[in-house]
Structure 1
Amino acid sequence: MDDERIVTTEAGRVRGTPSPRSADGGVTVFRGLPYAAPPFGENRFAAPCPRAEWEGVRDCADFGPPAPQTPGMVGARPWSSETSLDCLTLNVWTGARPGEGAPVLVWFHGGAYIVGSAAEPIYDGTRLAERGLVVVSVNFRLGFEGYGHVPGRPDNRAMLDQIAALRWVRDNVSAFGGDPDNVTVAGESAGAGAVVCLMASPLARGLFHRAIAHSVPSDMVSRASALAVSERVADAAGAPLDPEALAALPPERILAATDEVLRRRPGTLTCYAPVVGGADLPVAPLRAAAQGVTRGVDLLIGHNTHEYRLFTGLGGAGADDEAALAKAAVRAGLPEGAVDDYRAIHPKASVAELYDEIMGDALFSRYTVRFAEAHAAGGGRSHVFRLAAETTVMEGRLGACHAFDLPFAFGTLESDLARFLLDDTVTDAHRSLSDRFSGAWSAFASSGDPGWPRVTADATPVRVWDLVDDLHPDDVSPVRRLWADVSFDPR
């Protein structure tokens, strides 16, 4: 990088700008760097295609457009039919010099596989860059464009986008001061689902060396299930399930069809998920980990204590009677009598609160721990955490909810989502927790050791992040036994 913050990539020269969050201007951010051609027109529903080179210097002051989506999280960039479809871009934050060989962290955002973008302020990489990392955040296709089954076209196009971005990192990150031989992939929620799929994918082998996964969703689908969803979406869009017919539809038409399918499935967060069974993802990540496929990647993985409260607390469907609660337990695969066991563990909880506990465990918590232990059993190194610090918004009803970990890990306590979840009150204790959390990320990306013991055949140590941290020598969750025989196979 020269004094004008210009870097030469394989496709052409790019100019960055000082990060506005960097007090001394030492961190440069490059926004909206294209890593593949726009995935529309002749490229629609195809694997990502190479981006054409350009002449001169490309100014990278603005984030690239988000992938087509309906309105999403607090702080997310809006999308409309007028938004550019040139959405396969990434962003780089760096304080390193070319050849310095700083550890690289590549971030894949969450959003139920249907919303989100790398431009969300909560994902700003400045603080992590100040800790010595080169941070890359990535946009990729979402919803039907990224995960819908289209006959004759590759499944998991979003994952193929992510792999293309990792290849860009391999080929270009040294010019930004990063080490292509020390790359950590990271993500939360659907982004964590992407991370474990990349760990299991033969197409991503060798492109990264460590992985950070927060709140990994258990939701993976078979090719038959993906086909069934696509048939419903195509029907709602008024088109045959045919690549040419679907490619002729504007993205907003397919988004509207997806919304219609979701309306017919009340209580469902998404109708898309990674598709298991093809060359890109031949085996489900949990099974791949147990078989030793993922053992060459060090893993930092964890979840929040009250994952599901975010969804019901902000207006999502829950359970208001015993019948609905029992149905949720059966749908999750829990054994008979499990609701009574949950009630014994949480004797003061209401039906709605018990529903949150069961759904949080079903969708995130128990799968996350199961994956950590499977990875360790397969010969890999796993370090497990749990966030117990609680939100102050809505009189604390959201607890340690889904996504509350993000502002602490990124050091973005002033972002819109963080201010909402903290009720606009950030204390020194919150700042200290953020410093410890992001420090663990940085240490892990640098060395593979976040600062606490890894999972062994005998124990699953858990770092508990809170205003005052703790280290549990083993995972002693009282619901662990209830989930011991529950299958997380693709649905």
Structure 2
Amino acid sequence: MLDDRMDSLDTPGEPVTVHAPAGTIIGRRTGRVLRFLGIPYAEAPTGARRFAPQRVPLFATTTVPEPSIPGDDVLNLGIVAPAADDDRLPFPVLVWIHGGAFLAGSPASPWYDGRAFARDGVVCVTVGYRLGVDGFAPLDDVLPNLGLRDLLLALDWVQENIAAFGGDPDRVTVAGQSAGGAAVLALLSSPAGSGRFHRAVSLSGGIFDVGTDAARDVLERLGHRLGVPPTRIGFGSRTVEQLQQGVIDLRNERGKGDRLALVPCVGDDILPVPIPDGLTVHGHGVPVLLGATGDEFDSGVGPEATAAARAAGTRVTDTLFRSACARTAAARRQAIAGTWLYSFEWPSPVLGGAAHCVDIPFFFDVLDAPGVPQALGPNPPAELATLMHADLVGFVRGQEPAWARATGGLGDPAREYGRPGAALAADTTGVFDPVVRAVSQAAEGC
């Protein structure tokens, strides 16, 4: 049944009913846009199901507005679709995975509202999944990677039910940003991802995986801080909020590296090998679009300092995010399907650069969403949003991007969006060369 708590826009509309294999689902129609929100794709992970297969905010402030939805029903999804009488049926489907370092974030952000996709004939699905300890702690008596298993289950739900909403189960694109983009790369590299989606998009998605020993070292320290053993029973005796606060305290105490320990874990049926190795084997029939912002977490340092740091290819932006683009393209050199790169270069006047997250409102074409002026200033270029959104819609529809494919080497082509002094979208080469050189030099030094 519809749960209106996730409707961040609080848009009035007439009731509409869909009869899907999962049951009867009631939504709302506003004009030619249908909204079905708070749909459970699995039982709430509480009690005995808490660590079974089937949040305090991480940061005091975030670029993306992240409304917190009360309750334990995190395994929900929302659907924004074109009206069923649209003559473009069936519609391609975009399944969106939110970011938040695998510890935080919300699928209910107004920046993820799919109304522009519905306008353009795409069904947009936003997914919630387990985070932090509940989603990614490798405990002895718990299946690993529960967060990824949640996402796979949501993709199965889409395959089985999306036709009832006008969606085409044979044209599903999985997409995400930051940790969501990293989850896309993890699913692309996984044998379990085969057949569940047909295209993939990763925005600022690093390659984040961890070995069991490293993750358990963090869990030992977390258990000590909370006064419980690092087991299913021990952590299960604490609320999600208490666990989240404990992780935040560890991060503040020992540095940001700890927050990257609760990420996809290598060594199970979902990720039998590290993500880069999996990318060389799996997902080769899936076209991939991926990229990063120009400055990610290194904005606000001034033009001259930015230029020098970019040339070195060793910023956090490069090592965590931009290098993942080149590494993914290189791993997919033998892929049948293509890999295409983009770089978002428009500098936010508020954040002092092309910072992490600022490309999202452009790709979603929601520059009027709450929180956008605070991150992008009063007049972000609407024509850039129109262009970027059209590129993404075209990819989701099955079109090949207009620029050349990438292979992960020097001089790789990429589409640059919003570089000052250039066209809104300029096809270029070499924008990822600094990180390619840095990765090659690091490999030679090993």
Question: Smaller-chain TM-score range?
Answer: 0.7 to 0.9
Aligned counterpart for 1:6 among listed residues 10, 17, 20? 17
Provide the residue aligned with 1:470 in structure 2: 426
Deviates most, 27-36 or 449-458: 449-458
Asked whether the equivalents of residues 363 and 389 of structure 2 are also in contact (C-alpha less than 8 Å), the reply is yes
Question: In 2 relative to 1, CA 260–446 (structure 1 residues): closer, same or farther, beyond 3 Å?
Answer: same
Paired residue type of 1:233? L
In 2, Cα distance between equivalents of 1:111 and 1:210: 22
| Residue 289 in structure 1 maps to residue 279 in structure 2 | yes
In 1, Cα distance between equivalents of 2:330 and 2:372: 31
Provide the residue aligned with 1:44 in structure 2: 50
Paired residue type of 1:446? R
Asked whether the equivalents of residues 84 and 165 of structure 2 are also in contact (C-alpha less than 8 Å), the reply is yes
**1:33-432 alignment runs, 5 A limit:** 33-48=39-54, 69-70=57-58, 73=62, 74-78=64-68, 83-97=70-84, 100-268=89-257, 270-271=259-260, 272-290=262-280, 292-309=281-298, 348=305, 358-394=315-351, 397=352, 399-426=353-380, 430-432=381-383
Deviates most, 460-469 or 381-390: 460-469
Shift of 1:151: 1.3
Shift of 1:228: 1.3
CA deviations 1:415-449 (Å, max 9, x no partner) are 233211222223xxx11111111111111111141
Q: TM-score of the superposition, structure 1-length normalised?
A: 0.80
Aligned counterpart for 1:483 among listed residues 422, 426, 439? 439
Asked whether the equivalents of residues 151 and 241 of structure 1 are also in contact (C-alpha less than 8 Å), the reply is no
Identity among equivalent positions (%) equals 31
In 2, Cα distance between equivalents of 1:456 and 1:266: 35
Equivalent pairs counted in the alignment come to: 420
Deviates most, 111-120 or 215-224: 215-224
CA deviations 1:171-216 (Å, max 9, x no partner) are 0000000000110000011001100111112222101000000112
Asked whether the equivalents of residues 103 and 244 of structure 2 are also in contact (C-alpha less than 8 Å), the reply is no
Note the residue ranges of structure 2 that are not aligned, 5 or more in a row.
1-13
CA RMSD of the aligned region, Å? 2.6
CA deviations 1:64-123 (Å, max 9, x no partner) are xxx5654563421136xxx31111100001015289221000000011111111100000
In 2, Cα distance between equivalents of 1:119 and 1:355: 37
Shift of 1:376: 3.0
Asked whether the equivalents of residues 307 and 365 of structure 1 are also in contact (C-alpha less than 8 Å), the reply is no
Provide the residue aligned with 2:389 in structure 1: 438
Shift of 1:218: 3.1
Asked whether the equivalents of residues 313 and 435 of structure 2 are also in contact (C-alpha less than 8 Å), the reply is no
Deviates most, 184-193 or 346-355: 346-355
Shift of 1:375: 1.6
Aligned counterpart for 2:27 among listed residues 16, 23, 45? 16
Asked whether the equivalents of residues 68 and 106 of structure 2 are also in contact (C-alpha less than 8 Å), the reply is no
- For the residue of structure 2 that corresponds to 1:78, the secondary structure is coil
In 2, Cα distance between equivalents of 1:237 and 1:287: 36
- For the residue of structure 2 that corresponds to 1:150, the secondary structure is coil
Note the residue ranges of structure 1 that are not aligned, 5 or more in a row.
20-24, 49-66, 319-345
CA deviations 1:269-290 (Å, max 9, x no partner) are 7242111111111122211222
Shift of 1:129: 1.2
- For the residue of structure 1 that corresponds to 2:317, the secondary structure is helix
Shift of 1:260: 1.9
Question: In 2 relative to 1, CA 384–70 (structure 1 residues): closer, same or farther, beyond 3 Å?
Answer: closer
Paired residue type of 1:9? A
In 2, Cα distance between equivalents of 1:10 and 1:210: 24
| Residue 452 in structure 1 maps to residue 384 in structure 2 | no
Question: In 2 relative to 1, CA 176–267 (structure 1 residues): closer, same or farther, beyond 3 Å?
Answer: same
In 2, Cα distance between equivalents of 1:457 and 1:197: 18
In 2, Cα distance between equivalents of 1:408 and 1:39: 34
Asked whether the equivalents of residues 106 and 138 of structure 1 are also in contact (C-alpha less than 8 Å), the reply is yes
Paired residue type of 1:358? R
In 2, Cα distance between equivalents of 1:350 and 1:441: 28
Shift of 1:265: 1.9
Question: In 2 relative to 1, CA 351–389 (structure 1 residues): closer, same or farther, beyond 3 Å?
Answer: closer
Question: In 2 relative to 1, CA 471–70 (structure 1 residues): closer, same or farther, beyond 3 Å?
Answer: closer
